Amino acid sequence: MTLKFMSKKIRTFSFILFSLLSAIAIFFAFQVKADFNFEQFFPEGDPDLEYFYEFIEEFETDDNFLFIAVERKAGIFEKNFLEDFHDFSKKAKRLPFVVSGQSVTLLNYPQKTPFGITTTPAIHRKDPNKFEADKKRLLEDERFSGTLISEDATSTVVALKLINNIQIDSSRILMRGLDSLIQSYSFEDYHYLGRPNFQKEFIDLQYREIAISTIISGILVLLVMWFIFKRTWGVLIALLSIGVGMLLFVGMLGITGRPLNVMSALYPVLLIIVGTSDVIHVMSKYIDELRNGASKNDAIKTTIREIGLATLLTSVTTAVGFLTLLSSRIPPIRDFGVNAAIGVIIAYLTVLGLTTAILSLFKVDQVIQLDNRVSFWKPLMEWFYDITKKYPTRIFIGIIVCILACFYGMSLVTTNYSIRGNLPRGEKITEDYIFFENNYGGFRPFEIAVTAQDTFMARDYKVLQEIDKVEQYLKQHAAVKSSNSITSAYKSMNQVFNQNRPEAYAFPKNEKDYKKYDRYLNKAPASLDVLVSKDGKKARISSSILDVGSDTIQSVGQQIDQWMLDNTDPNIATFRRTGTGVLFDKNEEYIRDSILYGLGFAIFIISILMGFLFKSPKMILISLLPNIFPLLIAGALLGYLGIELESGVAIVFAIVFGIAVDDTIHFLSKFKLARAKGKSIDESLYVTFVETGKAIGLTSVILFFGFLVMLFSINPPSVTVGIIISVTLASALLSDLFIIPVLIRWFYKKELE
């Protein structure tokens, strides 16, 4: 009676506790916000990052822009179009958070007259007779062709300069205003490129991805649970436990102020399938105990004692797998690892505390349909048992062949990451990005910081000569576009004083002309602060580089570094590449190191847990060796499928290792229990296959199809992660069923004799 009373008391406490926690979680769930900014992806602790921060303090950020390209397929030189575009350009400059703007209709060319320097419009909008001459001049001008006007003259750009480090709330206001403005004109088509558009679109994408993955994962779990239990109450118990776990996780994000980031679309899939796995193990054990004649209280006690401990260890190992991402230098990756680890533990506690409490209210036939549903699993598991017993040598040879194939596949892995290949499929943001890549200078900033040495100043003639040399060299690289520096002002003056001939846009050949132009520039109202630092010692060469892949860009950068080292005078000025583009590409350099370090730490921690569970060096090796194999499979898939190893894909290894160990723990825990009951090695393996093999088979099927839910994503990295994890976890199941029995028989062969 005492036991029943205590069970009822504990059950009531569980219901009250989870009801209270759920109410709190609902309140804080509405406090969760999405966050996306480019600074999140800078590698912390890198010396180039520190230099970049110093650089932007002297100048400005290199992503404070928004480009709006407007198309007219028949050509932009048409009076009505140009009038509309000019009006749009002026109004766009007045949008919130815009500092300044430029376009071909706002542009004026300086012109020397007997009365001094005046200006003339780049396009004479009201005089169509001059359009052809204006077009020829603009297309021949390297400053504007491919930057403000496309080379085929079918589109033109409004280039807006924004406040530094614009954040999401401001970006939304700006983009709403821009959308409203551009819709008031009848342009054929338009395209956006810039930080505020990326921020807005990627955060909206996060919300859509989370909603879609949650719905599809929920439907999948519903179907699986109905297939397993075929009882409404059984399905509802499972869904309620998983749903409460999800709710508590979201509430945790709200309470701790942890925002959703670009990795957040994986949370619903991870938590739903991890929670489902825990639910299946707990409910299967509880049902088996009831079928064997145990009372509900005894069945709950046995379930918590046997499955609760094993599931705790699997949850901890999964969490450890995610925590390996703490070795990453990229904050969103680290945040994902921490959040996912916490989510796994929340799912475990919810299943153990809430599911067992609810189950104790029901009889076995209320939870599951009593039929011959296990008939499929028993013969299948017996087949695995027989194969591993009869053909260990063949299995061993097969493993060696697979490992060799994996090593070859891993040798094909590349880190030549491109932004274009990782943008959402079929979305306007991707269409716009490709448009700018094909018609203008692209998105990736490419900055070179210049520091004048000794007594030289950045605007001294000799320093400017060195800068011009570097700029001329940059033109040799097809990927580098639209270079701009302080020398542009002197080149423009040289052109003005030479009848504005296109070929006269060049740095003055003698110091006499330089000094003359310098006097004019000192009187000019235009500020050169964005190109020269306030103390006059530093300058910048600003350009962009096409999205040709991070490895290719790194190779181009190294060539430029070497050329500058060999061909510029370090006693006059030094040059150093910097900017957001350099920092993004450096992330890829750290991926391999962080993966190896993180997985090494995970293996160490999990070895300790295995030692605690099994208290045998042999069993530690048996538990770890099969789980190295799925990691090799994951690496090989990247190589064979031609998938670049980048920060988003790198999380695959943490997920695979953390989850793959789960089935191993369940398998070996059952084996240990059977051995503790005095059964032989073969008898224990048989019992393990027949009883636990079914549960890990079911959970692996759920994991496989659960991660395949990511195929519905429009985000290529999510699709990649889903495919690789699904296939790899399937290989992890086969690894457990084939390799573990062979290793057990090999390590304990004396006991078999």
| Residues recorded for the chain | 753
Q: Using the 8-state DSSP alphabet, how is residue 504 labeled?
A: G
Residue 417 within any structural domain of the chain: no
628 and 533 within one domain? no
R_g over Cα of the chain: 32
In whole angstroms, what is the distance from residue 518 CA to residue 522 CA?
6
Using CA atoms of 464, 469, 471, 474 in order, give the dihedral in degrees to the nearest 10: -160
Single out the residue of 733, 726, 695 nearest to residue 377, CA to CA.
Answer: 695
Question: DSSP secondary structure string, 669-730?
Answer: HHHHHHHHTT--HHHHHHHIIIIIHHHHHHHHHHHHHHHHGGGG-S-HHHHHHHHHHHHHHH
Which pLDDT belongs to residue 562? Answer: 95
226 and 188 within one domain? no
Which residue, 545, 561, 584, sits at the end of a domain? 584
In whole angstroms, what is the distance from residue 298 CA to residue 356 CA?
12
Which pLDDT belongs to residue 436? Answer: 93
Domain count, the chain: 3
Q: Using the 8-state DSSP alphabet, how is residue 258 labeled?
A: P
Residue 48 within any structural domain of the chain: no
281 and 360 within one domain? yes
Is the four-CA dihedral 80, 82, 84, 86 of positive or negative sign? negative
Which residue, 584, 607, 623, sits at the end of a domain? 584
Residue 116 within any structural domain of the chain: yes
Strands 108-113 and 444-452: unpaired
Residue 444 within any structural domain of the chain: yes
In whole angstroms, what is the distance from residue 188 CA to residue 668 CA?
66
The domain in which residue 326 lies consists of 2-38+201-411+585-752
DSSP H/E element including 55: helix 47-58
Are 725 and 718 within 8 A, CB to CB?
A: no
Which pLDDT belongs to residue 2? Answer: 38
Residue 55 within any structural domain of the chain: no
Across-strand partners of 155? 71
Residue 49 within any structural domain of the chain: no
Single out the residue of 270, 263, 280, 253 nearest to residue 214, CA to CA.
Answer: 270
Tell me the two tokens of residue 660: 């793959």
Q: Which residue do the tokens 């153990």 mark? A: 352
The CB-side HSE value for 176 (13 A sphere, CA atoms) comes to: 7
End-to-end CA distance of the chain: 49
Tell me the two tokens of residue 296: 């509900």
Q: Which residue do the tokens 């006269």 mark? A: 504
Which residue, 170, 200, 230, sits at the end of a domain? 200
179 and 83 within one domain? yes
Are 354 and 279 within 8 A, CB to CB?
A: no
> CB-based contacts of 203: which residues, under 8 Å, 6+ apart?
34, 35, 36, 168
463 and 559 within one domain? yes
570 and 591 within one domain? no
DSSP-based three-state secondary structure for 646:
coil
Are 358 and 238 within 8 A, CB to CB?
A: no
Tell me the two tokens of residue 193: 């490129």
Question: DSSP secondary structure string, 269-326?
Answer: HHHHHHHHHHHHHHHHHHHHHHHTT--HHHHHHHIIIIIIHHHHHHHHHHHHHHHGGG
209 and 256 within one domain? yes
How far CA 137 is from CA of 125, 151, 287, 479, in Å, comes to 15, 12, 82, 24
Burial of 537 (0-12, 13-18, 19+ CB in 10 A): middle
CATH number at residue 273: 1.20.1640.10
Is the four-CA dihedral 170, 174, 180, 183 of positive or negative sign? negative
Residue 59 within any structural domain of the chain: no
215 and 158 within one domain? no
Consecutive 10-residue runs of the chain (753 residues): their mean pLDDT? Answer: 53 89 92 74 78 85 89 95 96 95 90 74 91 91 90 95 89 95 95 92 84 83 79 84 91 88 78 82 79 78 80 83 81 86 92 84 72 65 91 91 92 82 86 92 85 94 95 89 88 87 88 90 70 90 86 87 94 92 72 69 76 79 84 88 78 78 84 87 89 81 82 83 87 90 84 57
Are 173 and 44 within 8 A, CB to CB?
A: no
Are 311 and 292 within 8 A, CB to CB?
A: no
The CB-side HSE value for 413 (13 A sphere, CA atoms) comes to: 21
In whole angstroms, what is the distance from residue 296 CA to residue 551 CA?
61
Residue 56 within any structural domain of the chain: no
226 and 184 within one domain? no
Are 171 and 199 within 8 A, CB to CB?
A: yes
In whole angstroms, what is the distance from residue 591 CA to residue 473 CA?
31
In whole angstroms, what is the distance from residue 187 CA to residue 86 CA?
12
611 and 477 within one domain? no
Are 599 and 653 within 8 A, CB to CB?
A: yes
115 and 22 within one domain? no
Across-strand partners of 98? 162
528 and 639 within one domain? no
Which pLDDT belongs to residue 751? Answer: 64
Which pLDDT belongs to residue 230? Answer: 78
